[in-house]
Chain A
Amino acid sequence: MSHQDRVYQPLAASATIPMKILVTGGFGVGKTTLVGAISEITPLTTEAEMTQAGAGVDEGLELRPDKTTTTVAFDFGRISIDEQIVLYLFGAPGQERFHALWERLCQGAVGAIVLVDTRDAEGSFAALDRVERAKLPYLVAHNPFGDEAERWSLEEIRASLDVDPGTPLLRCDARDPAQVREALAALVQHRQNLLEQEGADE
């Protein structure tokens, strides 16, 4: 792990409302690239430690020196939206044994961007499965490596990954700040739509 000895850029004193969005997907799909493309700070890495025993034991992120602990790192970035709202983007570890940390990270999140690589169906399915189970609103963003955008239409990707018709699906080059910004705004819009639907159902 690299040392983060560069100068930390503090938030405005007026910041009062943290909001957060999860960026997830298979290994090497570009989660950190996406966060770095739009974050106002160089993405930071934090280490969380938990016991091997997994869920239940690490509920309070407890340190138990008598047990073998394992660490997991997650990257995050930050965008100051206005004087009050600050948006955190984080790439969460998806492994099952980090279940408690995953829950804590996802609780209260606006939603998730599931970044998919058409060359890694397995990783994409696993990520989709995790956000489904976390009951987070999400959208699917195809990060096109090489000529994958020409090879696969969004309709084909939706069909092959069995993405629900109500779930937004778009292309997003994780290196392109404008495309990342668009994907984030689309996710917030999706959450707003879901809230409206809930309100209408009541």
Chain B
Amino acid sequence: MIDPDVPDGLYMIVGGRSGTSLRLDPFTLVVTERSDTTGLTLEQADIVRLCERPITPAEISACLTIPLGAVTILLADLIDQGHVSLRSVGRPTRRSADPSAFSSPADDRQLLEKLRVGLINLAL
């Protein structure tokens, strides 16, 4: 049960935001564009630091132990502010924030072949 008198931890992290229209694939790559963390919350600054190397929302969530939904909301703000961006492949056809607007690597014959050969040759 949620006690209305006790602020929910998640609710605090996302600064009272209740949602985002951003529908983010948990396994899309995010990268930092602007590493200046001035004015960011602790969680936002953590994310900007993690994204110095490509990372997915799922990994951010696991590393910071922040649920995926909260990570998505934090990322939506950071994208809006130009701190991070989605490293998407394929041709953007509609809004860039919509992951379905990109052609999927899973439909790309060349990438599938690279993936298959890479798996076969994977050192164990």
Give A contacts to B, CB under 8 Å: 3-4, 8, 10-13, 15-20, 38, 44-50, 59-66, 68-69, 71, 76, 78-79, 81-82, 85-88, 90, 104-105, 107-111, 177-178, 181, 184-185, 188-189, 191-192, 195
B21, B28, B72: which contacts A18 (Cβ < 8 A)?
A: B28
Residues of B within 8 A of A15 (CB): 29, 54
Residues of A within 8 A of B61 (CB): 46-48
Say yes or no for B19: interface residue by CB 8 A criterion.
Answer: yes
| Count of chain B residues with a beta carbon within 8 Å of a chain A beta carbon | 56
Given A4-B65, A63-B73, A177-B124, A188 contacting B54 (CB threshold 8 A) = no
Residues of B within 8 A of A177 (CB): 124
Give B contacts to A, CB under 8 Å: 1-2, 8, 10-11, 14, 17-29, 50, 53-56, 58-59, 61-63, 65, 67-70, 72-73, 87, 89, 99-100, 104-107, 109, 111-116, 118-120, 122, 124
Q: Contact: B27 with A62, CB < 8 Å?
A: no
Q: State A15–B119 Cα separation when bound (angstroms).
A: 16
Which residue of the partner chain A has the closest CB to B61? A46
Given A63-B70, A90-B27, A18 contacting B124 (CB threshold 8 A) = no
Q: From residue A97, how far is it (CB to closest CB) to chain B in Å?
A: 15
Q: Contact: A88 with B56, CB < 8 Å?
A: yes
Q: State A90–B57 Cα separation when bound (angstroms).
A: 13
Q: From residue A48, how far is it (CB to closest CB) to chain B in Å?
A: 4
Name A's interface SS.
mixed
Given A108-B104, A185-B120, A4 contacting B63 (CB threshold 8 A) = yes
Q: State A76–B115 Cα separation when bound (angstroms).
A: 18
Q: Contact: B99 with A107, CB < 8 Å?
A: yes
A49, A60, A90: which contacts B20 (Cβ < 8 A)?
A: A60
Beyond A63-B69, A185-B116, 14 additional contacts (C-beta under 8 Å) are: A8-B59, A16-B89, A18-B105, A19-B105, A46-B61, A65-B18, A68-B1, A81-B119, A82-B118, A85-B105, A108-B25, A110-B106, A188-B119, A195-B107
Residues of A within 8 A of B104 (CB): 107-108
Residues of B within 8 A of A191 (CB): 106, 112
